[in-house]
Amino acid sequence: MSARVVHVVGARPQFPKLGVVLRAQAAAGDAEPLVVHTGQHYDAALSDAFFDELGLPAPVAALAVGSGPHGQQTGRMLEAIERSLMTLRPDAVAVYGDTNSTLAGALAATKLGIPCAHVEAGLRSFDRRMPEELNRVAVDHLCDLLFAPTTTARERLELEGLGARTVLSGDVSAEAVLHAERLAESRSRILETLGLASGRYALATLHRAESTGETALPGLLRALEGAARRLGTLVLPLHPRTAAAIDARLPGWPAAAAEAGVRIVEPLGPLDFLRLAGHASMVLTDSGGLQKEAFLLGVPCVTLRASTEWVETLDCGANLLATDAGSVDAAISRHLTAPGERASRRARALELYGDGRAGARIVHGLGTLSKEGRT
């Protein structure tokens, strides 16, 4: 592949996906990985550690945009990405997932007339209250080439009149998890460091803006306390946004949570986090990516949201939605009474999310896109 492709990323879930595509790009003979990092996730544990541990190349442009309200953050990203693209002059741009970095990258590229591709296209939660849902829809309609991870995603794009732009690539996350899981098992010592036994603890994450708001946060924190009482130790790597919200609104919660069995730890690097997830008895999260990672690892999941874009995880019973202490407790009970086999969950996840060759298909598509130009 000789096309000059710029990859725009900025948030933790995008970095492993980027790694899959860059490894495929290198295998195709392209030795010039061009990464623009918006700095949407600016904490070292949420950014630098991923680049280091996953062996990703240093960004050619680190924009350091940081946090802020959606409009302000997206606007600052758009301005900075546009400058970078005008300097780099790529043949094509690739954006990943559904974050503000994704939207800003797609807007900057298309306004400059640069062909743009969306990795993980066609996902829909049908909940317009989610900023990510708005980003997904807008980016799919902006981009020239849409890499759908599943047949469901491809069918949605066809229904929206975007079938001619769509390629069924398979899911980069499946490749990313399999690659990182091997590294994690050989390199991570997080279970030993924390004194945890495999299968004897649960893992939780909470970070979305709507989860950490004044209305939602108290109820979700109570739900985590209840989950810890049911499941034993509940490990909570605390996202900087969540930590700030707790400090501002519920400064006494960490002490109460510890009594219930919640163990708060600092944000973790990707290999430690994946090993922790893979050996957990259950995962509770408001993250989109972690829902699917848990499925791929064979671990039952409770999603702390009213909707999800990964509907396949619900259809298989591997994932349940819950939004308050009562519904979380009910979801935990359902998982505990129908535990299933980890191996069968993993097999079903891989069946749904592809054969491990998504990266190669995406790289081939990017090369074709750059030659054809904008459609």
Strand ranges (E), 102-198: 116-119, 145-148, 166-168
Dihedral sign, Cα of residue 126, residue 127, residue 132, residue 138? positive
Pairing mode, strands 262-265 and 5-9: unpaired
* Contact present, 370 and 4 (Cβ < 8 Å): yes
Q: State how far the Cα of 177 lies from the Cα of 120, in Å rounded to an integer.
A: 15
Q: Which of 7, 37, 207, 279 is catalytic?
A: 207
Q: Is 207 a catalytic residue?
A: yes
Determine the straight-line distance between the first and last CA of the chain, rounded to whole angstroms: 20
Q: State how far the Cα of 323 lies from the Cα of 230, in Å rounded to an integer.
A: 17
* Contact present, 264 and 257 (Cβ < 8 Å): yes
The radius of gyration of the chain from alpha carbons, rounded to an integer in Å, stands at 20
Q: State how far the Cα of 330 lies from the Cα of 313, in Å rounded to an integer.
A: 18
Q: Which residues pair with 205 in a beta bridge?
A: 285
One DSSP character per residue, 268-292 reads: --HHHHHHHHHT-S-EEES-HHHHH
Other Cβ atoms less than 10 A from the Cβ of 151: the count is 12
Secondary structure class of 145 (helix, strand, coil): strand
Give the residue numbers marked as catalytic: 207
